[in-house]
Structure 1
Amino acid sequence: MFENAFMEAASKLHPAVPVLLYIPLTLGLLGWGLYGGRTTVGMSVLFIPLGLLTWILMEYGIHRYFFHWEGKGPFTQRVHEIAHGYHHKYPDDAQRLVMPLIVTIPLSSLIGGLLWLVGRPAQMLPYFIGIVWGYVAYDTLHWATHHRTPRTAWGKALRAHHMAHHFATPDRNFGISNMWMDMLMGSGGRRRKLAGKEASGQGAPPREGSGAKT
């Protein structure tokens, strides 16, 4: 994806890294906040779910309005190619199914810093943790929809929803860790029959090079 060796390496990440890095860090941060009296259990019970909900809104908005925005010039089209276009061309590249640290570390630091400047750590600390947990869940589910066979009805439905976005309706089905956002925003779409099979998440979908719109 890059001619620069550092950028090429930095754009790849093992899917376990977000869990192994951010979950211990945020648990430590939560413990620091609770034991230091900076936040409380009650505030955590309230604001962590609000942070999770905020991430779901962010996930949908980023995917629909940034990742799928190509612009009209070569610069914006190159940004689209790096941010998301490559993933649609090579959806089975296991090393580029989660956001690289070169993106998530600055972005999480910026969000965390801005929330800290609000000056209400009792609320903002668990709120930030909820956002990070939402991101980790999103990245893990995104990887799983591409590289794991779902065993539950929910998993099969989520995989069918996302595979439809890749191979049938790339202008719909923007929710990745959830499907209800597409229902709420009116951007859901059923996957048409392909090779005589319904999009149930079972069987191999056609490759992107076979004429499917990206």
Structure 2
Amino acid sequence: MSRPYLRHQSGRMFDNAFLEACSKVHPSLPFIFYIPITLALFGWGLYSGTTTVVRAAIFVPLGVLTWITMEYCIHRYFFHWEGNGPFTRRVHEIAHGYHHKYPDDATRLVMPLGASIPLAILISGLLWLLGSPVWALPYFCGIVWGYLAYDFIHWATHHLTPRTAWGKALRAHHMAHHFATPDRNFGISNRWVDILVGSGGKRPAKRSEEELSLERPQA
């Protein structure tokens, strides 16, 4: 299974000029916005005694793992859900369909702040309601840092040439999702979740002319 795509091109997502501008984001913007905020929050938490180094060593990695789970579920069950009507198909087109159609559009490779900020507010609000900042603060920072790693890796798989075996394997994993098996390979920052749940796949190997000739009807 594959989806139609246009290489090295971009298209319009919205007729409205303001919405169209908001749908585009420079790849550096999430890092410029979130890194100072989370580092300041994390530093304040340690300095004020709101959290501790020991709790941070436990809950930051748990936050990263939580994001990895969210990343997989959002990609598989929301981004690739098209629904049955024009509204749900339009939501799919905005959320992810455009990216599959124009995979090389660098202005739409990371999540716009208009989408990530409400999600961050929702997560931080739920954690605040639990009333345990000693673990909730480093846990939230871990989720955000996991998200930033995901954004960077997604951008890098499309626009950088990997130099390590890990990078090459991860890029092949994601490119297979785009150009051969869009119903497989939902992990972006990693491959192990797809391996764990059995949703991994590879691009079909090119068959030789001899193999193809064996399938042709004989005269």
Same fold flag (TM > 0.5):
yes
Q: Bigger radius of gyration, 1 or 2?
A: 2
TM-score (norm 2): 0.88
- Say whether residues 1:15 and 2:15 are aligned partners: no
> Who is 2:50 aligned against?
38
CA distance in 2, matches of 1:46, 1:135: 18
Give 1:194 shift: 5.1
- Report 1:49-68 matches (<5 A): 49-68=61-80
Give 1:78 shift: 0.3
- Report 1:108-119 matches (<5 A): 108-119=120-131
> Who is 1:70 aligned against?
82
CA distance in 2, matches of 1:4, 1:101: 18
CA distance in 1, matches of 2:16, 2:139: 37
- Say whether residues 1:143 and 2:155 are aligned partners: yes
> Who is 2:202 aligned against?
190
The 10-residue stretch of structure 1 (22-31 or 157-166) with the greater mean CA deviation from structure 2: 22-31
CA distance in 2, matches of 1:75, 1:185: 30
Give 1:193 shift: 2.8
Identity among equivalent positions (%) equals 73
3-state SS, counterpart of residue 189 of structure 1: coil
> Who is 2:92 aligned against?
80
Q: How large is the Cα RMSD of the aligned pairs? A: 1.1
Q: 2:181 aligns with which of 158, 165, 169?
A: 169
* Structure 1: gaps spanning 5 or more residues: 197-214
> Who is 1:206 aligned against?
none
* Structure 2: gaps spanning 5 or more residues: 1-12, 209-219
Give 1:190 shift: 1.2
> Who is 1:3 aligned against?
15
Q: 2:112 aligns with which of 94, 100, 103?
A: 100
CA distance in 1, matches of 2:120, 2:46: 21
CA distance in 2, matches of 1:51, 1:194: 41
3-state SS, counterpart of residue 9 of structure 1: helix
Moved over 3 A (4+): none
